[in-house]
Amino acid sequence: MTPRRGRAKLLSREEIVTRFGPGRDGRVVFTNGCFDLLHAGHVAFLEQARLLGDALVVGINTDASARRLAKGPGRPFVGAEDRALIVASLESVDAVCLFGEDTPAGLIAELAPDVLVKGADYSLDQVVGRELVVEAGGRVALIPLVEGKSTTGLLSRIKEEHE
């Protein structure tokens, strides 16, 4: 099988819902985030998420949406289109779309994934869209993070190196 290039996996919200939304074949897993500085922890997380279904769809915050999350000064460091392309280039990811809202609740409602995934740094009651997914018969999974692999840790090391 020929691997699909990352750009082919960058879809509009409408395309995501048409291809992976209600009426689809297979079990769709959805996760979201900024994915500002992609690292091994992100890769492991996305690989584990993909194992929970037949397709993994990733929602990525636009730059404006990421800024509103107050991740820190100057964030995001990498523009939304580049972040989306990098994530889409991973083998474990089947499709990526950007969302500009503060949360992916609207996208989750439209997509109606079978499995909603977040990192275990969240509690179930903190997962946006949890109620929608569970009420539709889906489930929420929390995936353990890889110890020592985080954007915050990476930024701390970079800062220490340049002080």
Domain count across the chain: 1
1 belongs to a structural domain = no
First-last CA distance in the chain: 48
pLDDT tens for residues 103-129? 999 999 999 999 999 999 899 999 999
Residue 11 backbone class (left: φ over 0; alpha: ψ -120 to 50; beta: rest): beta
pLDDT tens for residues 3-20? 578 899 999 999 999 999
**DSSP SS3 for 73:** coil
For residue 56, the domain's CATH number is 3.40.50.620
Per residue, the 3-state secondary structure of 29-68, as one string, reads EEEEECCCCCCHHHHHHHHHHHCCCCEEEEEEECHHHHHH
83 belongs to a structural domain = yes
Q: What is the value of pTM for the model shown? A: 0.90
pLDDT tens for residues 50-84? 999 999 999 999 999 999 987 777 889 899 999 99
- Percentage of the chain lying above the pLDDT 90 cut: 74
- Structural domain that includes position 44: 6-161
133 belongs to a structural domain = yes
35 belongs to a structural domain = yes
